Amino acid sequence: MCGRFTLTVSIETIARRFNGTITFPNDSYKACYNIAPSQQVLVIINDGKKNRLGYLKWGFIPRWAKDPSIGYKMINARSESITEKASFQEAIKHRRCLIIADSFYEWKKNHDTKTPMRISLQSEQLFAMAGIWEKWISPTGEAIFSCAIITTEANAFMSSIHHRMPVILNKEDEQTWLNPRITDVQTIQSLLQPYPTFDMEAYKVSNLVNSPKHNFPELLKEME
């Protein structure tokens, strides 16, 4: 699964990297060192004309849900079954997004302990995780825009840490993923592959990252 990640660069760097139009005041963006479920996460969607940067709540709320709290249980969607699940079938065809990060955390099991690890790419500071999004409307008319990160089986590098990992899209596949005109399930599914092992790196970080209340640069420090 993917339950925490980071985004620590400037909004201008993100906009340049992904060629996206910023749809919110620049001063509302803040670097985050421990992004957790239920928080607002920075994403890119394509509105049919251009790529737009904006925020979605992390935790997918299906349109038919009676209670938005279901989103707490739907932070991830498995790539292997995403086209078959009623909750995700429409979103995977019509409402895909890039969820922007520069690293993610995973907890490595060792007997009775869990060690937090920070995982990033060697070749790129920023990367895009494959996501889906949805608009849920409450009985009173309130709209909540939410998302989920798509996961896949771990590659050889990640398998020593966890058996699952987020789908990190190849740079050349990002625009295909965002293209709203592409609805063919096989084409979409072909993009949901484990990221190449050779380009990933990881190191141990402090147990302070265990609490989502902690959000400061020291969380990125490598521990021995």
Catalytic residues: 2, 106
Q: How far is it, in rounded angstroms, from Cα 111 to Cα 7?
A: 31
Q: What is the DSSP letter of 97?
A: E
Query: Taking the mean position of all CA atoms in its chain, how far away is CA 183?
Result: 21
Residue from 61, 43, 56, 58 nearest 3 by CA = 58
Q: Which two tokens stand for residue 208?
A: 């302070």
The continuous run of DSSP H or E covering 202 comes out as strand 200-204
158-171 in b/e burial notation, b at 16+ Cβ within 10 A?
beebbebbbbbbee
Q: Say if CB 64 and CB 74 are below 8 A apart.
A: no
